[in-house]
Structure 1
Amino acid sequence: MSANDQYQTPLASRYASNEMKTIFSARERASTWRKLWLWLAEAEKELGIKQISDEAIEAIKANVTVSDEAFKVAAVEERRRRHDVMAHVYALEKDAPAAAGVIHLGATSCYDNADLIFIRDALDLILPKLAKVIHNLAQFSLKYKDLPALGFTHYQAAQAITLGRRGAQWLQDLVMDLEDIEYVRAGLKFRGAQGTTGTQASFMEIFQNDASKIDKLNEILCKKAGFSSCYDISTQTYTRKVDLRIANALAALGATAVRIATDLRHLAHDKVMEEPFEKDQIGSSAMAYKRNPNAGIESAALAGKLSNVSANFSETFSGQWLERTLDDSAIRRIDIPEMFLMADAILISLDNITNGLVVYPAIVNSQLREELPFMATENIIMKLCSHGVSRQEAHEEIRVLSHQAAHVVKMEGGKNDLIERIKKTEFFKPVWDEIDGLLDTKLFIGRSPEIVERYAGVGGPVEKKLEQYKEYIMSTATAELSV
């Protein structure tokens, strides 16, 4: 039977990277269990458990990577036993008979450290990719920090900003996401060897009530697995609060990605800017001229799902009765890998988009110029006041002309002729010679260039935040979309 004859999640077949898919693969999971059993046996032997021989250790070590044949053995055994972990213990005993009887010694069937290893490795894959997207947007923001653009509130024309200043808005949200994900990564610990309900009772039996050896056992296990320490309290599992905290951080990244992708799609509609469009890319099967923002649409769709992932993890965490129920098992098999595959796919897409954003300055300027006369009215009123004109009278005169100009734009499809009307109205004669100077777009952008430079420029918060990822950013090519 071909893979094409069975359903495969598009997250794996279309979107996520090979590196992320490997972390959550069946072989990686089963082989990690074997590594954990090896480390446990090595540590127990080091601490004086005589029944674990050198031959047993070498036998496990020689069979750490699970073969296809071992998977078949485990599958048959799982159908009999209805227990995946014990099925793989059995498969390892078949591969390493010298270790039979000491594999998994003292550990609960939910020797719950493998998921923590996968989560750690997945976070370590996500963080530099997110840093790369932040770097891309920082460069974009700096490049266009001086380009005046029309701002929008409520998706209606508002005060001017610069295009780079808008990019810095997205940039700051992503930096917050980076900080949140770094925080949960830094707080990630190991479960270690804690026994069936977290009391370490089985290990007290093995070590003849020598508690110091159990502490040393967990020190050794943490060191072998690459963790600094174990959680202080565990039940049969590590607390599922850990999963929820990570899900919350990744869900927030999803929300940011939706926001950025949606903004870019609005701007593409207005022809202000657009995502990279490949030479042979097809926008529509019927409308050959179309340039659909496909990557933005794709990332928004995936990010929308990721932004809602916390609910499942919250339910799973709150449904762990007392020392543990199995309610977490099936859903975590789905949700943990898919959460990371989605985050990975979104960052691949955002890297591709943000590294090649195409800006059309003429359209940016034209869009701003259309609204500039209305923006300039306050400045014109202030100039009139400096010539001794009543502010109330100036306001009323300009209000009437503004509504007339708006009527031409909305009802007749004409251009905004407010400035021409002002120049033809005697009331405004005191400032006629000054009006053109009041229409310089740079007068309306406030401190936008300075704000961007201070945040994203040399020595700024963004540069400092990205310092630890600098080597990855400089050495990694822009991600390519798989579809």
Structure 2
Amino acid sequence: MFSIDAPIELQNTEYCNYRSPLSTRYASKEMRYNFSDQKKFSTWRKLWLYLAQAEKELGLDITDEQLEELELSIHEIDFASAAEHEKKVRHDVMAHVHTLAEKCPHAAPIIHLGATSCYVGDNTDLIVMRHGLELLLPRLAAVISCLAKFANDHKSIPILGFTHLQPAQLTTVGKRASLWLSDLLMDERALSRAKDDLRFRGVKGTTGTQASFMQLFDGNGEKVRCLDKRVAELAGFEKRYIVTGQTYSRKVDIEVIGALSSLGATIHKMCSDIRILASRKEIEEPFETSQIGSSAMPYKRNPMRSERCCALARHLITLHANAANTHAVQWLERTLDDSANRRLTIAEAFLTADATLITLLNVCQGLVVYPKVIGRHIAQELPFMATENIIMAMVQNGGDRQECHEKIRVLSHEAGAQVKQHGLDNDLIERVKNDPYFSPIISQLDKILDPSTFIGRAPEQVEEFIAEEVEAVIAKYKDTLVEVEKPVVLNI
């Protein structure tokens, strides 16, 4: 019985059904279509056409009229009829076989000839995953391209480095961004490898032995081998899995979803960094003129895009375990407990990765840096970091290292007490200036405390990294770089 909470006039509307936020809120229309029923079942029909075409080429009694009838019906799917058939036969593939046969009466006798359900199911999944990766890679490349420009533009701006989430030696804004870039390059490599490694399941029969096709071709194994190869070619695959059970190995899903989950880990780390930097008011994601950060606190500028990326990425990370557990229980030639699971896992992995990359690109296109805030934070910590440089300068001016070390140690602790116990600014440099012992180097203090002298080769490292590694990846996608429109700013 329908819930009494819903008014009668709403009970048959889409708003009274569960709708995935991936399809209504986050993912692109291209990726949503890739996992749509229309794409899935039209691909099934293409595969039935490819099979019939290849079987005709190899001598089976199939006519051009039958092939033409199948080709004209690829996209005209009667979903209502298929649903009615599935109610009766409780089998989705046979329901669509019957639906197509009604549309193609002349071709009906040769639809799905010699095949098992996994011929259309598994091969379609492989096609859809390949297309999904082809959508994701240009999006990832666009993020890499945008972030590379940001890193290069800010390669020389000093900023506090952190280890253990405690201030450490300085780095630069661009160098930190290059660390994010380095991880993204590994993700591009992994996704590219996953796409290139994908093969076609082909025509293998119920347990992968091709016995049904051997019967169709009167025991001619060479024709069966050629059939397998030809159908793969018609579907656009150069390679096929030579051995399978009833399905292609679900290890393939682990490799693909593993690469996507690894991308999720990269994005979560990067966006967590941005959230920390936003808390320090050093770097912020874009914030719209009319955007509201909080319903209760009007001053808030919450990093909601980065938070969304983290939320989605965390879900993406978890899907790897799902794929691994599914493969682990595929007993012998296959069990069917992978089916319902994979309907969720594969689609959600791609839709989530897509949604996360769209939002991440928007973040990277509008990152804002606040050098004065960064400079103030450096000024609070740099005196402590400069103590070794002060000691070296004193020694070069004839001072005793041990004596100098003791004096600077005492002054440092005094300054630290001012900061920690009294909430005052770090006054170590003033204490050094007021101590006659350090008079020989007072004129050098500004140079000693110049933040640019604490960043090592960070700017050069960024330049080398972009030139030697990043530009080659961007060049791969120069004709397909995706410029994504700004996503609608929504609360999480």
Give the TM bin, normalised by the shorter chain.
over 0.9
Contact 2:361 2:484 in 1 (8 A): no
Decide whether the 8 Å contact of 1:352 with 1:481 is kept in 2. Answer: no
1:18 and 2:29 are equivalent in the alignment: yes
TM-fit CA distance, 1:164: 0.3
SS in 2 for 1:471: coil
Aligned to 2:53: 42
Letter in 1 for 2:188: L
1:242 aligns with 2:252: yes
Q: Quick one: distance in 1 between partners of 2:409 and 2:72?
A: 84
Aligned to 1:476: 483
**1:82 maps onto 2:90 in alignment:** yes
**Match of 2:7?**
none
Query: Residue 148 in 1 paired to residue 155 in 2?
Result: no
Contact kept? 2:291, 2:489, Cα under 8 Å? no
Instruction: Give 2:6's aligned residue.
Output: none
Name the structure 2 match of 1:303: 313
SS in 2 for 1:158: strand
Distance in 2 separating the partners of 1:100 and 1:222:
23
Q: Distance in 2 between matches of 1:204 and 1:20?
A: 38
Structure 2 counterpart of 1:476, one-letter code: E
Note closer, same or farther for the CA distance 1:482–1:49 as it changes in structure 2 (3 Å cut).
farther
Residues 187-223 of structure 1: CA distance to partner in whole angstroms, max 9, x if unpaired? 0000001111111111111111212212221222122
SS in 1 for 2:159: strand
Q: Which residue of 331, 335, 349 corresponds with 1:339?
A: 349
How far is the alpha carbon of 1:482 from its aligned partner?
A: 6.4
CA contact (8 A) 2:158 2:170 kept: yes
Q: Aligned AA for 2:187?
A: D
| Match of residue 442 from structure 1 | 452
Q: Kindly tell me: are residues 477 and 17 of structure 1, through their superposed partners in 2, closer, same or farther at Cα, counting changes over 3 Å?
A: closer
Q: For 1:388 and 1:90, locate their aligned partners in 2 and report how far apart those are by CA, in whole Å.
A: 96
Give the partner amino acid of 1:22. Y
What secondary structure does 1:177 align onto?
A: helix
2:196 corresponds to which residue? 186
Query: Aligned partners of 1:131 and 1:480: how far apart in 2?
Result: 18
Instruction: Give distance in 2, aligned partners of 1:177 and 1:137.
Output: 14
Structure 1 equivalent of residue 67 of structure 2: 57
Give the one of 282, 286, 294 matched to 1:276: 286
Q: 1:237 to 1:158 in 2, by over 3 A?
A: same
- Secondary structure in 2 aligned to 1:151? strand
* In 2, Cα distance between equivalents of 1:231 and 1:219: 10
Contact 2:66 2:106 in 1 (8 A): yes
The alpha carbon displacement at 1:400 in A equals 1.0
Deviation, structure 1 residue 235: 0.7
Counterpart position of 1:314: 324
Taking the aligned partners of 2:40 and 2:97, their CA distance within structure 1 comes to 13
Between the two proteins, the alignment pairs up a number of residues equal to: 477
Tell me which residue corresponds to 1:95: 103
- Name which of 168, 173, 179 aligns with 1:163: 173
Within the alignment, does 1:73 sit opposite 2:81 as a pair? yes
**What RMSD, in angstroms, separates the aligned Cα atoms of the two structures?**
1.2
Which residue of structure 1 aligns with residue 43 of structure 2? 32
Query: In structure 2, which of residues 387, 391, 394 is the aligned counterpart of residue 377 of structure 1?
Result: 387
> Gaps (5+ residues) in structure 1?
none
Partner residue of 1:199? Answer: 209
Q: Displacement of 1:479 after TM fit?
A: 4.5
Cα distance, 1:388 vs. partner? 2.9
Question: 1:176 maps to what in 2?
Answer: 186
Deviation at 1:92, TM superposition (A): 0.4
- Report if the CA contact (8 A) 1:85-1:110 is conserved: no
Q: What's the TM-score once normalised by structure 1's chain length?
A: 0.97
1:90-131 residue CA offsets vs partner (Å, 9 max, x unmatched): 110111111112100011122120000000000000011001
Distance 2:107 2:489 in 1: 44
Report SS of the residue matched to 1:161. strand
Question: What is the 5 A alignment of 1:98-117?
Answer: 98-111=106-119, 112-117=122-127
Deviation at 1:477, TM superposition (A): 4.5
* Contact 2:175-2:458 at 8 Å conserved across structures: yes
- In the alignment, the residues of structure 2 paired with residue 200 and residue 66 of structure 1 have an alpha-carbon distance, to the nearest angstrom, of 31
Supply the distance in 2 between the matched residues of 1:212 and 1:340 (Cα, whole angstroms). 38
**Paired residue secondary structure (2:245):** coil
Partner of 1:267: 277
- SS at structure 2 position matched to 1:98: coil
**Letter paired with 2:100:** L
Is residue 5 of structure 1 aligned with residue 16 of structure 2?
A: yes
Report the counterpart of residue 135 of structure 2 in structure 1: 125
* Corresponding position of 1:432: 442
Residue 223 of structure 2: aligned partner: 213
1:136 deviation in Å? 0.9
Among all aligned residue pairs of Structure 1 and Structure 2, give the percentage whose two residues are the same amino acid: 50
- Contact kept, 8 Å, 2:362 with 2:484, in 1: the verdict is no
Checking the alignment, whether the CA contact within 8 Å between 1:351 and 1:478 is kept in structure 2 is no
In structure 2, what is the Cα distance between the partners aligned to 1:248 and 1:381?
Answer: 51
Q: Provide, for residues 121-172 of structure 1, a one-character-per-residue CA deviation record: whole Å limited to 9, x for no partner.
A: 0000001100100111100000000101111111111000110000000000
Deviations 1:372-397 (A, max 9, x none): 11111010011112223222222121
> How far does the alpha carbon of each residue in 1:5-45 deviate from its partner, in whole angstroms, 9 at most, with x for none?
10101111100000000010011111111110011001101
TM-score, length-scaled by structure 2: 0.95
SS in 1 for 2:479: helix
For residue 324 of structure 1, what is the aligned residue in structure 2?
334
Does the 8 Å CA contact 1:191/1:230 hold for their aligned counterparts? yes
